[in-house]
Structure 1
């Protein structure tokens, strides 16, 4: 039995893919201390780990309403620097000696933690793997701006505190979006990964972690059987979009389809909408993996997890990317013939309807999605991920 330190940060998109891996590690006898934001305690503790939480003033939700690119960069940098500080403090408060550390690729200090603790490192990559040719996050393209912003006295104070107090040295700011480990677990397939040939054997493409989420949700699928089903969900951050949802009502209310719409917890369904068409099922939360088994089209923001899950079940995607890595993910889906991109500022009911009809009529979208899906299912999943970790 090994003692494992698992470090994670940012939102559900970074947490959810790791849960299957963690459960499998525990099943095979590992003892895990999982360090993440306090708000994820309940979800993560269900896997059987020892959870250690930290709190920061900002949350990933704060990114949703920021339109100015420089302000977005500054906010993301604030969020990351606060997280780095709290994570490092949390690591060195632990009295246990760990045998290896697994950390999210957003945690650019992971290799440093490994050096200071003198233990092997595993990087958990919940987006595409990145290098100098692949910058999936637009913010990563603004390296000059990042370097200027890093001269902020508050940030420099954190850098000094971590160096003086814990011997943690900050790597070059260009590494903020391309952390690595001795091995790198990537939750997609080599086929779906852009420029896959540029990544060496330390990169293990295991596909998405599809697990039973043990959700006790009162949701009947009977009325969706033998029907064309459209599933709509914009993720956990960018879902406060009443105008978009009303465009969906107008687009699909007269079509012979059933529409399942997940709107998140920011809106009160009873007060948010003047009316909901009869062929719509609107909920604050939907068991996504179950719904995707019935869906013919998935209208999504193009987050990596939702994209992987949709394609895993062979569902063609209409992608409306909002921010961060989503435009890059969407472009990859479109390039492989598995989806259609609609720019968020150009969404109309007419364009939504036209895109769905196009998908129903053009069978290539389904065929290409099946090809993508097969590659994801064949990648091995969290069990392969654990196999690779045990080879360390």
Structure 2
């Protein structure tokens, strides 16, 4: 039985796309061990993998929206990578120790692109290393991210040149033989192959990537999630779904704007407000709204007519997979690039995060619902995402690489 090691270091948007791969690998007789933050134990064990928890990597509060109101902006006075170094060091060593000292002999590893020593760990284990890329693929020819990410990139570069970083990796090299990686390529796929959860059509400059990049589309798999409300719509009302994802989702002002925008609309509104929002704090929730801290997103998207989203790659891809046009309010990192790509292909409308009003929200939704082009273009993208093959195609590519690796290894032994 072949043994697979997954390594992941960040949030839901990095974990969820891999669940389909995990299940499919096991369906094909592979044994999967998954190293991730302890908060994902239940989700991963529910998928059937053996779970190993590591210290959770949390961004400083100054990274997020102060008081839950202001959208993300990299503060000028925060040296985020330096503040996170102690946690980063502990997390990386926990993962390395778990991988190298396991009683299992892994045949290959699959690591999230943000785990920037994944390829090095594969080299030390002498097994193929596959990179999981949960946003747009990037290389030296595709400078596609927004100003916030460029700012973060400069801080990452500063961090990589610091004595603290070099001292830490000198320690890792001496103890484990890990070579110092170039953090300037942290967003680039570094695996022997790179599994990218979008289609070549939706990928920005998809023609600029070689065969090491495997565009498989979203990894849509049944998450076995319960729902405590009904999606029955006997009156055939339009269904609007609203969610700002799992990180930038605690803006009371935004949710109040949605109440004002859609409270009198002849439509059914489902709104996910995140676990950090106290729903009882809302003064009055309109009767056509269903508001929950967490919503089984895939189940809702199957029936939604419009999706109002922060433009995270995972949520955007899931909406488009089900042909749903989007209203996008990008907050940070890759979200502006994702939102602009949707708008460029005619499948949605982008609203500046600093210019959200009830009037603009309603106008955007009405424009999408009354025009055919948005739906037609979302269907075109959705078709490309579904035809990319999903998690089954991803597993095909992974196993093909491993077969080639074994053949090469056998040839070298002769």
Normalised TM-score (structure 2):
0.89
Q: Please list the CA deviations of residues 268-318 of structure 1 after superposition, one character each: whole Å capped at 9, or x if unmatched.
A: 211x21100111111111111111122111000001110001001111000
Q: 1:264 to 1:291 in 2, by over 3 A?
A: same
Matched, 1:229 2:236: no
Matched with 2:407 is none
Moved more, 141-150 or 291-300: 141-150
| Matches of 1:369 and 1:80, distance apart in 2 | 39
Give the equivalent residue in structure 2 for 1:374.
Answer: 383
Answer with 71-80 or 276-285: which moved more: 71-80
Is residue 241–residue 301 contact of structure 2 (8 Å, CA) maintained in 1? yes
Aligned to 2:17: 17
Residues 378 and 225 (structure 1), Cα distance of their counterparts in 2 relative to 1, 3 Å cut? farther
SS of structure 2 residue aligned to 1:329: helix
Distance 1:84 1:186 in 2: 23
Q: Per-residue CA shift, 1:331-362, capped at 9, x if unaligned?
A: 11111101111111110011101111111122
Matched, 1:172 2:162: no
Residue 252 of structure 1: aligned partner: 262
The residue that corresponds to 1:338 in the other structure is 347
1:173-209 Cα shifts (integer Å, max 9, x gaps): 2111113211111111111011111111121111111
Hey, what does 2:412 align to over in structure 1? none
Distance 1:225 1:213, change over 3 A: farther
210-219 vs 192-201, greater mean Cα deviation: 210-219
SS at match of 2:168: helix
Partner SS state of residue 277, structure 2: coil
Distance in 1 (alpha carbons) for counterparts of 2:312 and 2:235: 27
Matching residue within 136, 141, 150 for 1:133: 141
Q: CA deviation at 1:62?
A: 6.8
Q: 320, 324, 328: which one pairs with 2:333?
A: 324
Cα distance in 2 for residues equivalent to 1:238 and 1:279 = 24
Moved more, 175-184 or 32-41: 175-184
- 2:68 aligned partner: none
Quote the Cα distance in structure 1 between the aligned partners of 2:112 and 2:290. 35
Give the direction of change, closer, same or farther, for the CA distance of 1:287–1:360 in structure 2 (3 Å limit): same
Which residue number corresponds to residue 73 of structure 2? 67
Tell me what 2:291 maps to. Answer: 282
User: 1:282–1:20: structure 2 CA closer, same or farther, 3 Å change rule?
Assistant: same
**Equivalence for 1:86:** 94
Q: Deviations over 1:214-259 (max 9, x none)?
A: 1122221124761111110000001101000000111111211111
Alpha carbons 2:226, 2:296 under 8 Å: kept: no
Aligned CA-pair RMSD: 2.0
Question: For residues 163 and 94 of structure 2, what CA distance do their matches in structure 1 show?
Answer: 18
Is 2:371 aligned against 1:362? yes
Count of residues paired in the alignment: 391
Unpaired stretches in structure 2, ≥5 consecutive residues: 66-71, 402-414
Once residues 237 and 149 of structure 2 are traced to their aligned partners in structure 1, the CA distance between those partners, rounded to angstroms, is 43
Verify: 1:273 aligned to 2:279, yes or no.
no
Give structure 1 stretches of 5+ with no counterpart.
Answer: none
For 1:132 and 1:54, the matched residues in 2 are separated by: 32
Q: How far, CA to CA, are the matches of 2:145 and 2:204 in structure 1?
A: 14
**1:328 Cα offset (Å):** 0.9
1:89-108 → structure 2 map (5 Å cutoff):
89-108=97-116
Q: Given the alignment, which residue of 212, 223, 227 partners 1:217?
A: 227
For 1:127 and 1:112, the matched residues in 2 are separated by 22
Local SS of the residue matching 1:350: helix
Tell me what 1:112 maps to. 120
CA contact (8 A) 1:128 1:193 kept: yes
Render the CA deviation track for 1:14-60: whole Å, top value 9, x for unaligned. Answer: 00000010100011011111111111111111121111111146258
Matched residues in 2 for 1:354 and 1:217: separation? 30
In 2 relative to 1, CA 136–92 (structure 1 residues): closer, same or farther, beyond 3 Å?
Answer: farther
C-alpha separation between the residues in 2 aligned to 1:77 and 1:147? 15
Counterpart check, 1:183 vs 2:193? yes
SS state at 2:131 partner:
strand
| 175-184 or 21-30: bigger deviation | 175-184
1:269–1:284 Cα contact (<8 Å) kept: yes
